[in-house]
Amino acid sequence: MTDTTDPDSLPANVRRLVEEMENDADDVAATLEGRGSPGLVGSRLEEAVRQILVEIGEDADRDGLRGTPERMHRMYLELTAGYHVDADRLVNHALFDVDYSEMVVVRDIPFYSLCEHHMLPFFGHAHVAYVPDGKVIGLSKIPRIVEMYARRLQVQERMTQQIAELLMDRLAPRGVGVVLEATHLCAAMRGVRKPGTVMTTSAVLGLFRRNEKTRAEFFAHIGRPVPSA
C-alpha cells in the first residue's frame, strides 16, 4: 500500500524525507522553505501515547515525559514516511537505455524498519541485483527503493519481496535478486531474548529464479569481502 498524501499536509521533517526519496534533491530543504508545518499538539496519537504511559504506571506529567507524546508523534511520522512516497516519482526519469547485459549488484545498503508485530526496530543490510534487458536504473534509486519500503511497518519477508517486485515491474529486467539480512529487537529484547541473531530473507524473480548459475553468481558477489578503500 502506498499513501500518496499531499506533501503539503505533512510535517516538515516527513516532507523532507519524502522529497529526498522521490527526488534525490541536493538541497531538499530549499524546496520546503516557507511551507510551514501543521500543528501536532493534541493529536489522537499523542493522546494514545499518554494513555500508554499511564497504563505502565508512569506519571505522564513529570518533566522527562511531558513532551514524550509529541516527540513520539513526530518520530513515528518520520519512521513511516515511506507510506507517503510515490514509487513513480521516486523512479522518475532514472531509467536509461544502455547496451549492457551483465549482472548489476548494489550491496550492503543499510536500512532501519519497524516490525509490525511489536513496533520494535529491525535493521541490517540489503543486497540488490538485476540483469538488465536494455535499460539500467540510476544507482541512487536502488537505496531509495529500499528506504521507501523500510520506512513502513513491515515484516522482513514482505519487504524483501516488495523491493524485488517494484524493480521487476518498473525496470523490466531479465531478472532480479534481493537479499535482506537483519537483526530484530523483538527477538533480542523480549520473547526468546537472543541478541546477535540475524534473519536472512531472499526474493528471486525471472532469470534469478530460473537459472541456478545466475543465483550462484549473485550469492557469490554478496559473500565476498568488501574491497578496502
Instruction: Spell out the domains of the chain, with CATH numbers in brackets.
Output: 7-84 (1.10.286), 94-223 (3.30.1130.10)
What is the H or E stretch that residue 175 is in?
Answer: strand 175-184
Interval 177-217: pLDDT, tens: 999 999 999 999 988 888 889 999 999 999 999 999 999 99
pLDDT in 10s for each residue of the chain, 229 residues: 555 566 667 888 788 788 878 875 433 333 333 333 444 445 899 999 999 999 999 999 999 999 999 999 999 999 999 999 999 999 988 999 999 999 999 999 999 999 999 999 999 999 999 999 999 999 999 999 999 999 999 999 999 999 999 999 999 999 999 999 999 999 999 888 888 899 999 999 999 999 999 999 999 999 988 777 6
Residue 184 among the catalytic residues: yes
Give the active site residue among 47, 51, 116, 157. 116
Give the active site residue among 118, 161, 181, 221. 118
Question: 99 phi and psi, to 5 degrees?
Answer: -85, 75
Give the active site residue among 46, 115, 147, 162. 115
Cα(50)–Cα(69) distance, integer angstroms:
6
Q: What pLDDT score was predicted for residue 101? A: 94
Q: What pLDDT score was predicted for residue 181? A: 98
Residue 186 among the catalytic residues: yes
Residue 125 among the catalytic residues: no
Structure pTM? Answer: 0.83
Q: What pLDDT score was predicted for residue 43? A: 86
Give the active site residue among 19, 147, 156, 162. 156
Q: Are 13 and 79 in contact (CB under 8 A)?
A: no
Quick one: cell of 47?
493522546
Residue 157 among the catalytic residues: no
CB atoms under 10 Å from CB of 87, counted, come to 19
For residue 11, give the 3-state DSSP assignment: coil
Cα(105)–Cα(30) distance, integer angstroms:
33
